[in-house]
A and B are shown apart, each in its own frame.
Chain A
């Protein structure tokens, strides 16, 4: 045992451990944040929330857009601000791709912890998607939660009734664990990462907006009339049409597969109850800040099961009658049926043309319905 104790005092072992601990401390203080892989979940959540925080003092937004990638791609705060400046509304987007409600809440808390003038939140609801009611945390959600106040994050996860495993705690508490894949990627492709960092440094720092949808390709390039045809026409071995690229094809393939594989029963069960608890928690927090919530049901592709979707909205409206405010708008059908696919980048997300239409419809709605 004496030798074992001596081993634990071994200079080599202690030096190595010390270096690891020092590195962990520097990671905890955010030294690695600037080097995170561009468009990774951790990078995105930092980029979006930091941009929003920075804009609080200069842009002075009073309306936040919240949601996932549908809101991120589908609504442009820049256009909204151009068109609605006379209405006394100033928009900023806090929509985060791939975010569960808990991530959206933590992002909102980060914003509201700063001096702000937020009075309205436009929440783009996605009731047809499978991840709103999951019990176990995905790595993507963990990555994003780890970027916020972790103690607050863990407390929110308990409130939202997630089933946390010991690995999840390690992920949330130790940055070596949270950033391990990112650091591994940096070690394997340092050239690409350094280029990205360079590009990021040269970017316009005065912009108020984290993102603008510039995607021109549309689903119609792949010429399909059903989900099955979509999967076949965008499969890995299929040809990429002009004006499309491999990223577009891949996104189309993945979202069409998701649409095919996602079959959610429209019945009340313990998972819908959990979603209810989570949205109640989020809205409870927003209400406690005296902020008005406006619910929006976003456009849905004609190729998705619309009948099912309408039923789902009806179901959720009944279920949420006591939680969701009266101010809710169904924009599911705003995209023209004839050339519906021209407005979508993939089965779920809008392209630039679609984004412009969705934003315009929201502007019209706001002008018509006096949300204030």
Chain B
């Protein structure tokens, strides 16, 4: 079920009102609602979700039965990881892996492509479920005995299909001490949900018109057009995903759950590492805690640290999609982070940091956007070949022209929406609601934007595909 669908507009109020009157059965109601939410997409795959839940529940209970040093704990952890990663590998990576085999030309035998449907949200709920088992294994959190509560943790509908990836500690804390949903909480949630809809339906979906048009025919674009398309995509994906997150956080808050921030001005940054600390925070902290740190993190020799960054972001790229261009995108980011790390150790950086002032800070921001932008054709283009065409046009002065393929009305719209979006984002929602007049203006502007600029056709959220 899409948040931006008529189905959800009916589903959500019914669930919320039923929740108010469900007494002690609140968790059961939410679980059933979550299953319905998932089944609205495809009811067969609920079996897969249930299987994951049962395995992780069984593994975590089993782990908790043994002492901390007992090697049997590891067996159950491995069981959980093999099942979760096995499903992920089968549904998401089978064709990619077989394609690699075919591309390697190691034998005359070639695999044909399998028609495998990717279960929506599998990357998100698998990570969420795995993190729980790992945390129980590490003894970071106590095991949850209630199957109902654990099931709800994995399948809670606001974050089920596209995150944020919520940690068990946060979720169970809120489950035990749910936020009192009073007038202020309702106001805040309403504002956040409204903002999320505006980001998605107005900003992201309008930008998508320009982005889809450009990326479908990269060879027709001039250098300027390509850069416009890339910047438009940068904002599209931000508005799309952060819009989804806003709706998810707002909806969850109305049920008494307080999810952590997932985006915080990710493009208003002076370095790539700062960008990653503000972009899809729940995912970044996941790969930090469960991949980078276990590999050794920033400890050890410089070579080892670089290796850890490389592996972590290679994984990050592959998580986003099963294709060479996603791998290349992950590697690009690892390359930038490693380079940045080396630069951070130089004297020049130290001097510029202390004496560079505004000009240095501004240049860093522009250069960071430039570097992120260079990676985006790898992320968005249909293939590595298309990415190459776009990168060639972005970097070559020979192609630095405009073929007027892009409708520049979209660029104008992008700028307007971007400015409005920034104003919204910068203006702290909680603070704004203290003042009735600014809250009225906020609601009014959002309503008008939704009325006038929304794209009629409900479009999927980009991160549904991951």
Contacts and interface: CB of A to CB of B under 8 A. Distances in A.
Nearest to B445: A16
Interface in A161-190: 167, 176-177, 180-181, 183-184, 187-189
Nearest to B182: A3
A13 B443 contact: yes
Interface in A1-40: 1, 3-4, 6-7, 10-13, 15-16, 19-20
Given A13-B443, A184-B453, A6 B183 contact: yes
B179 interface: no
Nearest to A10: B187
Contacts of A180: 451-454
Contacts of A183: 451-452
Contacts of B448: 20
Interface in B337-357: none
A10 B413 CA distance: 32
A12 B183 contact: no
Interface string B1-23: 00000000000000001001000
A28 to B, nearest CB: 15
Contact of B187 (A7, A177, A181, A187): A7
B190 interface: yes
A184 B417 CA distance: 12
B409 interface: yes
Interface residues of A, number: 23
Contacts of A176: 451
Measured as residues with beta carbon below 8 angstroms from the partner, the interface class of chain B is 20 to 34
Interface string B123-161: 000000000000000000000000000000000000000
B186 interface: yes
Contact of A16 (B186, B409, B416, B443): B443
A114 B301 CA distance: 90
Nearest to A184: B452
Interface in A277-333: none
A186 to B, nearest CB: 9
B162 to A, nearest CB: 26
A180 B453 CA distance: 7
A12 B436 contact: yes
B447 to A, nearest CB: 6
Contacts of B290: none
Given A176-B451, A180-B451, A11 B456 contact: no
Contacts, number: 56
Contacts of A184: 452-453
Interface string B437-451: 101100110011001
Nearest to B254: A4
Nearest to A177: B451
A222 B311 CA distance: 59
B79 interface: no
Contacts of B181: 3
A11 B183 CA distance: 12
A195 to B, nearest CB: 17
Given A180-B451, A188-B409, A188-B412, A7 B439 contact: no
Contacts of B437: 12
A337 B42 CA distance: 61
B26 to A, nearest CB: 14
B439 A12 contact: yes
B23 to A, nearest CB: 13
A13 B186 CA distance: 12
B186 A4 contact: yes
A184 B453 CA distance: 6
A367 to B, nearest CB: 50
Interface string B58-76: 0000000000000000000
Nearest to A176: B451
Contacts of B439: 12
A16 B183 contact: no
Given A19-B444, A167-B456, A183-B451, 9 more contacts: A4-B20, A4-B186, A11-B436, A12-B436, A12-B439, A13-B190, A16-B443, A180-B454, A188-B409
Interface of B: 17, 20, 181-183, 185-187, 190, 409, 412-413, 416, 436-437, 439-440, 443-444, 447-448, 451-454, 456
10 contacts: A6-B183, A7-B187, A11-B440, A12-B439, A13-B443, A20-B451, A176-B451, A180-B453, A187-B416, A187-B452
Identify the 8 closest CB pairs spanning chains A and B, nearest first: A16-B443, A12-B439, A184-B452, A12-B440, A16-B444, A7-B186, A15-B440, A3-B183
